[in-house]
Structure 1
Amino acid sequence: MSFTGTVPTRALGPGGPEVPVFALGSWNTWDRMEFDDAVSLIRRAHEVGAAFFDVAHYNMGPHAENARTDLIFGEAVRASGIARDDYLLCGKLWLWEYPHTTFADQMRTSVDRIGVDKADLVVVGDYFGEVDVRAIVTDVAAEIAAGRFDGWGVNNWAIDDVRLAIDFAQDEGLTPPTFAQLKYGLVRRTMAEGSHYGELFASGALALQASDVFEGGILAGKLSPSRKIGADVGGIRDRIVAAYPRVQQIAHSLDATPTQLGLAFVLAHPATANVLFGVSRAEQLEDNLGALALLDRVGAEGIRAVTADLWLDREVNADGTWPMQA
């Protein structure tokens, strides 16, 4: 049965916009489906109130792929007939070649490739080693002043750097990050639920944007993914594969699918503003939308109770550092 309601919205952090709790991510998404299917998927996302698209130019560091996914998205969203004001666009700013490759250069390239004038939000991405947080906040503010986007978040930053970014921005009258995009789901919870990020989420200083909820498809039943998937932080992937039958069992007991269980779990976290997922077929989106009914029926406490034994990374970076900096 197709979803007939409207996806609810939540604030993307203090001062952030109201965003749908579901958002479509771009990595290995738009370039792995037929073009007409991409157009239909965008239209359906808009129809149910989930027209939030996370789209990046993958051309640096571990993502030096020169993928066409952002180009395809731009073509598909224009073909969909949806006006620019009727969807939210979240881009990425990479730190691997920063400041040699400036944020201004990255933004000009990104919006030109998609074929738009600006993004609504950006996520300032992964890094190795130390970074100049004050310079990052200042350069982000310059891009906001230039009208290239309105707000920003961080992606997998060490917690001390996040705190510094918030404090420096507030001291200087600049725009602080309002959300953190973290790997978060049934089996990988430590970064989001550990004491460090957890303190910022509990205080309301940041919202959580969950990504890689299905571990590259493993928790959706694709136990041997053939495509490139996200990093295996803590080396727990074999344990994740072994845990999938338990995920199936719990989902079946709730008259739900494993994907619905995974999304309902993420939305049960009070700090979660939205969750990114990549779908390449309309039926996958419809299935995901069913998570909303599951959460409403079982409740956040009920979802967390039945999935408590699935937390597999309790001891991974419990000090709040990210493995790439550890």
Structure 2
Amino acid sequence: MEQRALGPLPVSVLSLGSWQTYERISRAEGVAVLDAARDVGITLLEVARYNAAEPDAPLATGYSEVVFGEILRASGWPRDEVVIANKLWWEFWPGQSVAEELDASLGRTGLDHFDFIYSDPPPTELVIEEVCEAVGGLVTAGKVKAWGVVNWPAELIAQARAVAAVPPVAAQLPYNLIFRSMVEAPEMVEAMGPMGVVASAVLAGGALTGKYADGGSGRLSGRLDDPRFAPALAEAEQLRERAAELGTTPAALAIRFAAEAPRVATVLLGATSPEQVRENARAIAL
């Protein structure tokens, strides 16, 4: 699979996220997903501390990291062959520093390091200079190799790049055929400069796969009459027609759109089965 630059890190054009996925499937199924990702050439995995998917989980928050660590070890994927990213949520700041938050995530995953760290939008009372000093300090201390941001507005990204001794190298932003503005807006392009884009939500909550027209279920189930999703559902019908002409799937076309966009370093996807991983990877062969 094609490798692109995420700052100083070479990563695959497709990357695999976790969210609460591995809590909802068996450990064996989780290992099968990672095995498939490795087989198709994915080299970037993302994990983060999320609230538990089930009320009886051993941890109320962070169990997602525990399960990820377990299946990664069970998969036998050598640590030096994969780039692993995590997120800073600032949820317990100022009682917990960013270094302490990162160390806690390392403890739950059982890993000795992460390669990349994202910063969620920081608390409004925390000035941007302190944010950049704290997160950039993780890079200078050798705890991670680079950092980026998640869903920051253009103004905040511009401020960070202006003051940071170690500037962010990428921004994870929602980007798909329907919702393009957060990435393509002129003010965002100017604010980001040379930063790369990690494209998220490329299937618009599954709407662009066309599965809802066939009675499928997913994140939008029960909300399909919401007018906010109408453009994506309409686009899915056009994608279905074009995919039939090309002998592929609507999802593959939507993924390829994001992968081909300027400035996109990697397209972040989720998967609950090895078949889904392989189907996503076929988008790159179109």
- For residue 95 of structure 1, report the CA deviation from its aligned partner: 3.2
Give 1:235 deviation, angstroms: 6.9
- Ranges in structure 1 where 5+ consecutive residues have no aligned partner: 1-6, 295-326
Distance 2:227 2:130 in 1: 33
Question: What is aligned with 2:4?
Answer: 10
Any gaps of 5 or more consecutive residues in structure 2? 53-58
Q: Per the alignment, in what secondary structure is the counterpart of residue 236 of structure 1?
A: helix
Counterpart Cα distance in 1 of 2:250 and 2:42: 21
Rounded to whole Å, the distance in 2 between the matches of 1:36 and 1:23 is: 20
The match for 2:285 among 277, 293, 310 is 293
How far has the Cα of 1:149 moved from its partner? Answer: 1.2
Equivalence for 1:310: none
RMSD: 2.4
Superposition map of 1:18-97 within 5 A: 18-59=10-51, 66=61, 68-97=63-92
- 2:43 touches 2:83 (CA, 8 Å); kept in 1? yes
Taking structure 2 as the reference length, the TM-score comes to 0.87
CA contact (8 A) 1:93 1:125 kept: yes
Matches within 5 A, 1:118-267: 118-127=113-122, 129=124, 131-169=126-164, 174-200=165-191, 203=193, 205-223=194-212, 225-227=217-219, 236-267=228-259
Is the Cα–Cα contact under 8 Å of residues 56 and 92 in structure 1 kept in the other structure?
Answer: yes
In 1, Cα distance between the equivalents of 2:61 and 2:210?
28
Q: Measure how far apart 1:228 and its partner are.
A: 8.3
Match of 2:275 among 270, 278, 283: 283
More deviation, 119-128/187-196: 119-128
Cα offset for 1:127? 4.9
CA contact (8 A) 1:183 1:210 kept: yes
2:177 counterpart SS class = coil
The answer (yes or no) to whether the contact 1:165–1:176 under 8 Å persists in 2 is yes
Structure 2 CA distance, aligned partners of 1:253 and 1:132? 52
Partner of 1:116: 111
Query: CA offset at residue 257 of structure 1?
Result: 0.4
